Amino acid sequence: MWFLPVLFRNLRQGPATDPFPFGEASTPKTFRGRVRFDPQSCTGCQACAHVCAGGAIRFEEQPDGLEFTLWHNACVFCGLCVHYCLSKAIRQTDDWHLAHPQADKFAMVERATVAYRPCDGCGKPFLPASLRLMDLAFGGSSPEIARLRYLCPECRRNGAFNEKPRLPQASTT
């Protein structure tokens, strides 16, 4: 009968665990769950695919841009992609509802296209640096940065060679 006080105390206090699957479970905000991708912030450097421990990320050239695919059934939630993404285009959420039948593995993907835009100089399609990266690198944008952002690397290089260097004025006194 020693257990009766414990039993009554527990009945009075109610369940001590989450009611899942009959209710939602509590998840810490810092939980490393489902990876989300923002194509507007991505600059296409592909560092995330290079460091991905699970080989879950793939980039493919398409006529309109660079297609990003992340296979949720291969992701091991290591967070390396988030850590190495300079422009913060990739993040982990506290969503862990990723269990799925094997037959659905081709549907359980995160897919988006990082769109090309024509270069303001030569018209060739290319991937400009994202505004997010500009913000992080320069603390915002300026007309000069905006102009350079829409030039492809080749036009920027040619421009840098052709522009006259701004030399300091010689003193006349």
User: Rounded to whole angstroms, how far apart are CA atoms 83 and 90?
Assistant: 9
Considering beta carbons, is residue 79 or 121 the nearer one to ligand SF4? 79
CA separation (Å) from 108 to 75, 77, 105? 11, 15, 5
Considering beta carbons, is residue 46 or 158 the nearer one to ligand SF4? 46
Smallest distance, Å, CB 35 to ligand SF4? Answer: 5
**Cβ 91 vs Cβ 19: under 8 Å:** no
What secondary structure letter does DSSP report for 147? H
Smallest distance, Å, CB 153 to ligand SF4? Answer: 16
User: Rounded to whole angstroms, how far apart are CA atoms 52 and 87?
Assistant: 16
- Residues near ligand SF4, by CB under 6 A: 35, 42-48, 51-54, 56-57, 70, 75-81, 84-85, 87, 89-90
User: Rounded to whole angstroms, how far apart are CA atoms 33 and 70?
Assistant: 13
SS3 48: helix
Considering beta carbons, is residue 121 or 150 the nearer one to ligand SF4? 150
Considering beta carbons, is residue 35 or 119 the nearer one to ligand SF4? 35
Smallest distance, Å, CB 130 to ligand SF4? Answer: 7
Smallest distance, Å, CB 145 to ligand SF4? Answer: 18
